[in-house]
Amino acid sequence: MKLSEVPQGLRVRIKAVNIEGELRERILGLGFVPGCEITVGISAPLGNPRMYIVGGKMITLRDSEANMIEVEPVGVCTLEETAEGETYVVESIWRGRNFCARMRRMGIRPGMVLKVLSKHPHVTVETIEGARISLKHGEARKIMVSRRERHWQ
């Protein structure tokens, strides 16, 4: 996943820095080093640049640079990458106001707990209230979840 695509508030681990030239040394020196964890902070008005918290410092990067940094979410994955039969907490839903609104109407919102029943042909999840929701794979890729088994009764 590209750093510029990670929704606000998530913690990610850096996998690769694909920036060339003198900018590369600067980015590495600031702590954008493979293996390091950083947090995605607020974005400027108009969505770009964004702020990243690296080792306690706030560093701004434009999306044009951030999209050359490969990252993976820490403790978070997309609903698509989950295992059948396990339970997860929805961390965030991203990309687009309309999509978020549609998910909310279907009953999926950040903070809720859900159990993945099956992943084929569609991703079917069960909410804590027992309601079953079926999602397309593309939709499941836009929902970030983390594992938190203890909440499930």
Partner 1 sequence: MVVVVVDALNPEQGLYLLLQVLELRGDVILNLNAVDESKKAGVNVDVKELSKHTGVHVVETVAVTGEGVPKLLDTIVHVYETRPVHSPVFFDYGEKVEFWIQKISSMLDCSRNFPGRWLAIRFIEDDELVNRVCEKLPSIDPELRKELSLELATQRHKHIDVMIREAYSGRNTRKRLPLDEAIDHVLTHRFLGIPIFLAIIYLVFQLTFEIAQPLADFIENGITHLADFITRSLGSGLVSSFISEGLVEGVGAVLVFTPNIFLLFLAMGILEESGYLPRAAFVMDRIMYAMKLSGRSFVSLILGFGCNVPAILSTRSIPDPKERLITIMISPFITCSARLPVYVLITGIFFPEKAGTMLFLIYTSSILITGISALLLNRMLFKGSPVPLIMELPRYRRPTLKGLILYMWSKGKHFLQKAGTIILFASMIIWFLSTFPLGTSMEDSYAATLGKFVQPLLRPLGYDWKITTSLIFGMAAKEVVVSSLANLYGGQGKFMDNLARELDPVTAFSLLFFIMAYVPCFATLAVVRSETGSTKWMIFTLIYGLAVAYILALMVKTLGGLLT
Interface residue with partner 1 among 24, 115, 141, 147 (CB under 8 A) is 24
Q: Does 39 bind partner 1 (CB under 8 A)?
A: yes
CB nearer to partner 1: give 53 or 112: 53
Check residue 35 for interaction with partner 1 (CB under 8 A): yes
Instruction: Kindly state whether residue 59 participates in binding partner 1, applying the rule CB under 8 A.
Output: yes
Give, in order, the Cα–Cα distances in Å from 140 to each of 32, 35, 51, 115: 29, 27, 27, 13
Minimum Å distance from CB 75 to partner 1?
Answer: 12
Which residues, in sequence order, are CB contacts of 17 under 8 Å at separation 6+?
24, 27, 28, 32, 33, 34, 68, 69, 70
Four-residue CA torsion sign, 115, 117, 120, 122: negative
**Site for partner 1 (CB under 8 A): how many residues?**
39
Measured in degrees and rounded to the nearest 5, phi and psi for residue 79 equal -60, -30
Q: Determine which residue in the list 3, 6, 12, 27 makes contact with partner 1, applying CB under 8 A.
A: 27
Residue 153 lies near partner 1 (rule: CB under 8 A): no
